[in-house]
Structure 1
Amino acid sequence: MRFNFRGTWSIFTREVMRAFRTAFQSILAPVLTTSLYFIVFGAAIGNRMPDFGGVDYGAFIIPGLLMLTLLGETTSNASFGIYMPRFTGTIYELLSAPVGVAETLIGFVGAAAAKSLILASIILLTARLFVDYSIAHPFLAVIYIMLVAASFSLFGFILGVWADNFEKLGIIPMLFLTPLTFLGGTFYSIDMLPKPWDTIALANPIVYLVSGLRWTFYGSADVDIWLSFGLTLGFLAVCVAIIAFIFKTGWRLRE
């Protein structure tokens, strides 16, 4: 079957433009929230905190705050993007169009990655107003951000297919993703935790995401960088397999 570039581009542009139509909620609101974290933890408390491996505390929390915003926004945007066509009934236009699973996923994931890079860039520029920082591996940081964005865009897609009401759309981000991110080393290093909590914390999958992004910034992290990359790729593969099953069986899409 020939790859449908026009269909992929249509999905991509629709999702990207939806973010700009809801710019206050999709871009401005998370940037303002992250700025408050920088003011409180970076500027006010950071001066009283010791350095972490030679990294100022205000700079140390940047990858964690970036990951906190990316996970929540990417998951919510992707889930809402597929839920609304199901809710309004326009999902049948997508199902009847000559667009395969690959084109659909590339369109949704590409849009999520683009929106994530825009949001990450704005947050990093905003962080410059409060703390001084540098990125040790900028290319790997971009790749890792896109990888995480793609993974949680697919996860959000699954969530949007699974949810049958608006309340369920917010359950996973609010009750699971946000608490796990706060407990995943956003504001501290796992090495600071007393035993056995430092070992228990490694059961939190968000630890590996925050640690991986922190390594791309400062060259050091709580867990091995390749383990972080490997687990993220594994999660991406699982999400792709689930979505392929959803499209093959029509689970909840044709209900």
Structure 2
Amino acid sequence: MTFNAYGVWAIYRFEMARALRTLWQSVVTPVITTALYFVVFGSAIGGHMNSVDGVPYGAFIVPGLIMLSLFTQSIFNASFGIYFPKFTGTIYEILSAPVSSIEIVIAYVGAAATKSAVLGLIILATASLFVPLHILHPVAMFAMLVLISVTFSLFGFIIGVWANGFEQLQMIPMLIVTPLTFLGGSFYSIDMLPPAWRTITLFNPVVYLISGFRWTFYGAGDVGVGYSVLATLGFLAVCLVIVGWILKTGYRLKN
């Protein structure tokens, strides 16, 4: 069976057009939220903390802010993208079209990852208006941005397939991903924690993703960059396995 590039492009283009129709929610709101984080954290905490690991506090929190938006937006875009056709019943039209299950995943996940990566770059540009930024490894930064966007878009696709209602759609991002992100060193270095709490924090997988992304900016992180890359690739592999199982069994798609 040949790859149906036209079918993938049609779904991808539709998802991207939906983002343009909801431009305020997709782009403007996260940018305003980022600005508020700088005002609150930069003024309240930055005034009492000059630097972290030699990096001005305002610049230090930029990678964490980008990751916070990237995690939530990747999951939201992908989960809502596949859940809404299930909710309206149009998923059966997509499944009956001459587009394979793998091509459907590529289209939905690709669109969600694109929107999230673009949003990450917009937030980066917004942050540069508040603090001076210097990205030590720009190619690695962009690679990590894309890799994490794809990984969490796959995770969001899984949530969208699994969810039976809008409450379940929001449950994991709000109750699990966001708290783990706040506790994963987004706005502080875990080296600032007491030894016992630092050990506990190392069991938080989000720590490795944020640390690896921060390394691309400043050449240093809370954990080794190798561990960060392995953690990201490991989570990606788990998501790929689960998505493969969904495609094989038709779990909550064909029944």
Which of the five TM-score ranges fits, normalised by the shorter chain? Answer: over 0.9
Residue pair 1:101, 1:244 contacting (<8 A) in 2 also: no
Tell me how many residue pairs correspond in the alignment.
Answer: 255
Q: Which runs of 5+ in 2 are unaligned?
A: none
1:1-255 equivalent positions in 2, closer than 5 A? 1-255=1-255
TM-score by length of 1: 0.96
Could you tell me the TM-score, scaled by structure 2's length?
0.96
**Percent of paired sites with the same residue:** 59
Match for 1:22: what amino acid?
T
Q: CA deviation at 1:153?
A: 0.5
Q: Which runs of 5+ in 1 are unaligned?
A: none
State the Cα deviation string for residues 78-109 of structure 1 (Å, max 9, x = none): 10100010011100112112222332222122
1:199-233 Cα shifts (integer Å, max 9, x gaps): 10001011011101100111100111111111111
How far apart in 2 are the matches of 1:41 and 1:226?
Answer: 30
Runs of 4+ in 1 over 3 A off after TM superposition: none
Distance 1:180 1:204 in 2: 7
Mapped to 2, the partners of 1:139 and 1:116 lie a distance apart of 17
Give the partner amino acid of 1:87: F
Q: How far 1:235 sits from its partner (Å)? A: 1.1
Determine helix, strand or coil for the equivalent of 1:186: coil
Q: CA deviation at 1:44?
A: 4.5
- Shift of residue 47, structure 1, vs aligned partner: 3.3
What is the CA RMSD across the aligned residues, in angstroms? 1.2
